[in-house]
């Protein structure tokens, strides 16, 4: 989990050690070499069920320590932050007591905010452990071992920060010269030097030397090696000169369905002078807010877009007031959830960053060519050509040759977006095609994790309170607006009498869309398997998916199907009544919402041998019960305990393998999606299904010389709509616009 295993400089994701290598290969080598792990089925859970928590018993405790500066210091007093949660991830308030190896109590601390707190660990402490609560039989939780010679202490204040640097062990006798740097978004904003000896060095840094948002304080030596690193918050400097006023007016306080909504903006400074700038506007229907947003404004945006990892619950709470209590809450958050995109050693070029994922700079597709067997024998010196096409008509192509390990890489010199159907042609040195297996190294997504306690806490909105609504409507500034938008002319044609011999009864669907298609399985399913994705993953590992039900058993034991194989006599006589069982209970199978038994009897040559590559998804229903929508009574609609809904892939014929030819779907960058905004005065007809919660999103609204701007859009199908308007922006000279 060190810098060598850093997965990305964009997200705090690290690559795990290769489980197939047990010879002590370091993380860097395990990442750079192409990993072909063996598929191992999951024993108890499926992708449709939440992953188990690390500690399932909410009475148990999970205590994690975060020494200030990043590591424990030897023989120096140091602040140690901690986070105490139960097995479900919810904050606990029990007392944390710290003991040395002799059993003497060194410190006692109480969580201060969401299970987070801190304590001062005295100098000269070796091994130590913690107990939670008053029960002495609780499990002893060891503190991290001391590995550094310097301790860093930061105390944020309203007008700056107080910094204390102390040394321990042999470093206290050397009186070493150290550098102190403050970085903001990886740019140095302050630099100084300190000489630290036996006595701690303490000084105060005024706020004018800091930048608004999350800052990073680094203590380093003359060789560029970082000894301590600490994140802290500095509130954006409030002043009249930096304050901008935004006036927002509406043409109505309450809107009817499909009505034009007009917003007028005026931006001025503290002296009332107009300001020419650009800002972003988001308009939502207020009554459609299911939960309170708690966005926290621009300060929360600065926090969440900085070097803070993980989920931050209720970021608005940290910015309700700029007092000591809220600064302490925020400081504890940064001590336990801080993360750095780059180490200081890399930033000052004392160390080199080894790029692990080239996709950070350009799109690259790499993999390995194997012989067509399960022994993973590489094919060196094979010529590969790739031609890929998108449905929009775009095309990319390339050629390469595999190395001695059978590995190859295609590096794209241009960016491409969306899905492409790629055809890989593999030839030996004689130019002849050979049956081969193509393994692509593209499954580097992090392991899915379950939602923990804080992530499942939602606060219901109070926007529906009648008293608050009345007060809000009186306070909503409005202006008179004359509707000059031309209406679409509707011309009604006279009826025509048409005589037909065979009446068209509407599109009834093909075998892929019959009876609602996949949506039928979605509505009923307990378990879901994305077979198209899993087949691609399996082939990329160097395997052949083969028969459908055998392939399902490799995904999850939950989906292991024991089916009665058809004998040759049954196949010849047409007596095709195979029974399928799941966990020893009878299961009915439907393919494209049609009974598999009937399909097998009618088309044995098509359905006797089902291949996994031909299917796109699988849904399993545990109960054969249906609920009456009126009475709520549960009725047994099936004698089977389980049902399995399988859906064939209409595009399967496009990706079938041939001699020396493999076809795969590859992905470029994700295509951006536009915010849907209908125009009900032109070609968009009012539709009762228009239930948009976001009515307008304008990321770049520009004011004129008078500081004015306007927006026009249309409401959705709901009656009596009120607007929830958010205005955010930063001017070129750093002044903020933040209105909700």
Q: Does residue 6 register a pLDDT over 50?
A: no
pLDDT at 397: 93
pLDDT at 21: 41
Q: What is the DSSP letter of 6?
A: B
103 inside domain: no
Q: How confident is the model over 687-716, as a mean pLDDT?
A: 92
Q: Does residue 445 register a pLDDT over 80?
A: no
Q: Does residue 30 register a pLDDT over 70?
A: no
Q: Are residues 472 and 565 in the same domain?
A: no
pLDDT tens string 313-354: 888 899 888 888 999 999 999 999 877 777 888 888 778 877
For the question of whether the overall pTM of this predicted structure is more than 0.75, the answer is no
Print burial letters for 521-537: b (CB count within 10 Å at least 16), e (below 16).
beeebebbbebbebbbb
Q: Are 613 and 549 in contact (CB under 8 A)?
A: no
C-alpha count within 13 angstroms, C-beta hemisphere, residue 7:
12
The pLDDT-based confidence of 578 (bands split at 50, 70, 90) is low
Q: Are residues 519 and 645 in the same domain?
A: yes
Q: Are residues 645 and 719 in the same domain?
A: no
pLDDT tens string 291-322: 777 778 888 888 888 878 778 888 889 988 88
Q: Are residues 466 and 553 in the same domain?
A: no
**Residue 148 vs residue 3, higher pLDDT:** 148
**Residue 587 vs residue 581, higher pLDDT:** 587
686 inside domain: yes
Q: How confident is the model over 586-590, as a mean pLDDT?
A: 84
Q: Compute the chain's Rg from CA coordinates.
A: 32
529 inside domain: yes
pLDDT at 368: 94
Residue 659: closest CA among 438, 433, 429, 437:
433
Q: Are residues 594 and 631 in the same domain?
A: yes
Last residue of a domain, one of 596, 628, 649: 649
For the record, the structure tokens of 434 come out as 């050979």
125-134, 162-171, 417-426, 638-647: least confident range: 638-647
Q: Are residues 470 and 520 in the same domain?
A: no
Q: Does residue 564 register a pLDDT over 60?
A: no
421 inside domain: no
161-170, 374-383, 520-529: least confident range: 520-529
473 inside domain: yes
Q: Are residues 480 and 533 in the same domain?
A: no
For the record, the structure tokens of 504 come out as 């068209």
Last residue of a domain, one of 596, 631, 649: 649
pLDDT at 276: 93
pLDDT at 33: 42
- Cα–chain center distance at 411: 26
pLDDT at 43: 44
84-93, 199-208, 434-443, 619-628: least confident range: 619-628
pLDDT at 294: 77
**Residue 561 vs residue 690, higher pLDDT:** 690
Residue 603: closest CA among 577, 580, 574, 579:
574
Q: Are residues 722 and 629 in the same domain?
A: no
pLDDT at 49: 41
Structural domain boundaries, residue 714: 238-288+461-484+678-740
Contacts of 182 (CB under 8 A, 6+ apart): 188, 189, 190, 191, 205, 209, 210, 215, 216, 217, 218
34 inside domain: no
Q: Are residues 638 and 682 in the same domain?
A: no
Q: Which residue's structure tokens are 């969401």?
A: 114
pLDDT at 556: 67
Average pLDDT, the chain: 81
* H or E element that contains 229: strand 226-234
591 inside domain: yes
Q: Are 459 and 292 in contact (CB under 8 A)?
A: yes
CA distances to 39, 156, 225, 329 from 185, in Å: 41, 19, 20, 22
259 inside domain: yes
Strands 146-148 and 72-73, sheet pairing: parallel
Q: CA quadruple 690, 693, 696, 697: dihedral positive or negative?
A: negative
C-alpha count within 13 angstroms, C-beta hemisphere, residue 514:
14
Q: Does residue 493 register a pLDDT over 80?
A: no
Number of domains in the chain: 2
Last residue of a domain, one of 598, 630, 649: 649
Q: Are residues 645 and 690 in the same domain?
A: no
pLDDT at 321: 86
Q: Does residue 648 register a pLDDT over 70?
A: yes
Q: Does residue 490 register a pLDDT over 80?
A: no
Helix, coil or strand: residue 664: strand
Q: Which residue's structure tokens are 């609504």?
A: 469
Q: Could you tell me the CATH number of the domain that includes residue 643?
A: 2.170.130
CA–CA separation, 163 and 218 (whole Å)? 11
For the record, the structure tokens of 736 come out as 């903020």
Top-confidence range, 131-145, 423-437, 591-605, 619-633: 423-437
Q: Does residue 417 register a pLDDT over 50?
A: yes
* H or E element that contains 267: strand 260-269
pLDDT tens string 524-544: 777 888 898 889 888 888 888
Q: Could you tell me the CATH number of the domain that includes residue 684?
A: 2.60.40.1930
Q: Are residues 612 and 684 in the same domain?
A: no
Q: Are residues 466 and 536 in the same domain?
A: no
């Amino acid at each position: 989990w060190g810098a060598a295993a850093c997965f990305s400089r964009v997200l705090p994701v690290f690559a795990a050690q290769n489980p197939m290598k047990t010879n002590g290969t370091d993380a860097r080598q395990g990442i750079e070499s192409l990993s072909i792990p063996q598929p191992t089925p999951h024993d108890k859970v499926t992708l449709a069920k939440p992953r188990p928590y690390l500690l399932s018993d909410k009475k148990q405790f999970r205590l994690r320590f975060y020494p200030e500066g990043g590591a424990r210091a030897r023989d120096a007093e140091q602040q140690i932050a901690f986070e105490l949660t139960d097995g479900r991830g919810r904050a606990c308030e029990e007392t944390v007591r710290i003991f040395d190896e002799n059993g003497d109590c060194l410190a006692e601390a109480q969580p201060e905010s969401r299970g987070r707190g801190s304590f001062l660990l005295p100098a000269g402490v070796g091994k130590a452990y913690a107990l939670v609560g008053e029960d002495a039989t609780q499990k002893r939780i060891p503190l991290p071992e001391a590995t550094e010679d310097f301790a860093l202490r930061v105390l944020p204040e309203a007008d700056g920060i107080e910094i204390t640097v102390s040394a321990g062990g042999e470093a206290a006798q050397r009186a070493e010269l150290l550098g102190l740097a403050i970085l903001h978004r990886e740019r140095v904003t302050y630099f100084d030097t300190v000489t630290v000896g036996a006595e701690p060095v303490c000084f105060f840094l005024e706020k004018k030397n800091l930048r608004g948002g999350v800052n990073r304080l680094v203590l380093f030596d003359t060789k560029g090696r970082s000894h301590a690193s600490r994140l802290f918050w500095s509130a954006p400097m409030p002043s009249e000169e930096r304050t901008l006023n935004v006036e927002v007016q509406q043409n109505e306080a309450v809107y009817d369905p499909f009505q034009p909504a007009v917003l007028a903006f005026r931006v001025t400074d503290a002296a009332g002078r107009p300001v020419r700038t650009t800002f972003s506007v988001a308009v939502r229907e207020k009554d459609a807010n299911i939960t309170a947003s708690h966005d926290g404004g621009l300060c929360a945006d600065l926090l969440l877009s900085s070097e803070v990892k993980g989920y931050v619950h209720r970021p608005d709470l940290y910015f309700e007031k700029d007092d000591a209590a809220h600064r302490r809450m925020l400081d504890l958050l940064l001590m336990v959830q801080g993360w750095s995109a780059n180490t200081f050693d890399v930033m000052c070029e004392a160390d080199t960053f080894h790029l692990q994922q080239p996709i950070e700079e350009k799109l690259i597709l790499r993999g390995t060519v194997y012989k067509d067997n399960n022994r993973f024998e590489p094919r060196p010196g094979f010529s590969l050509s790739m031609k890929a096409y998108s449905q929009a008509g775009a095309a990319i192509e390339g050629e390469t040759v595999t190395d001695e390990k059978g590995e190859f890489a295609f590096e794209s010199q241009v960016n491409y977006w969306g899905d492409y159907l790629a055809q890989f042609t593999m030839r030996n040195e004689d130019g002849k095609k050979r049956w081969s297996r193509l393994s692509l190294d593209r499954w580097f997504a992090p392991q899915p994790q379950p939602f923990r306690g804080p992530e499942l806490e939602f606060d219901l909105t109070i926007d529906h309170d009648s008293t608050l609504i009345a007060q809000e409507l009186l306070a909503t500034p409005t202006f008179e607006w004359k509707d000059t938008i031309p209406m679409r002319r509707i011309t009604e044609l006279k009826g025509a009498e048409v005589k037909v011999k065979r009446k068209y009864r509407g599109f009834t669907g093909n075998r892929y869309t019959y009876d609602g298609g996949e949506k039928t399985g979605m509505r009923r399913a307990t378990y879901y398997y994305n077979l198209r994705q899993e087949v691609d993953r399996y082939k990329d590992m160097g395997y052949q998916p083969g028969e459908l039900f055998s392939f399902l058993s490799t995904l999850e034991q939950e989906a292991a199907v024991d089916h009665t194989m058809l004998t040759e006599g049954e196949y010849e006589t047409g007596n095709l009544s195979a029974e399928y069982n799941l966990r020893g209970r009878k299961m009915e199978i439907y393919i494209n919402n049609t009974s598999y038994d009937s399909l097998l009897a009618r088309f044995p040559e098509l359905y006797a041998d089902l291949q996994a590559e031909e299917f796109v998804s699988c849904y399993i229903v545990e109960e054969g019960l249906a609920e009456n929508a009126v009475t709520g009574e549960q009725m047994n609609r099936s004698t089977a305990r389980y049902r399995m809904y399988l859906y064939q892939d209409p595009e399967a014929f496009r990706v079938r393998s041939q001699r020396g030819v493999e076809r795969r779907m590859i992905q470029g960058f994700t295509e951006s999606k536009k915010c849907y905004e209908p125009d009900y005065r032109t070609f968009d007809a009012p539709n009762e299904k228009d239930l948009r919660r976001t009515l307008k999103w304008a990321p770049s609204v520009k004011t004129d010389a008078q500081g004015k701007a306007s927006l026009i859009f249309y409401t959705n199908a709901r009656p009596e709509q009120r607007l929830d308007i958010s205005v955010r922006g930063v001017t070129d000279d750093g002044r903020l616009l933040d209105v909700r």
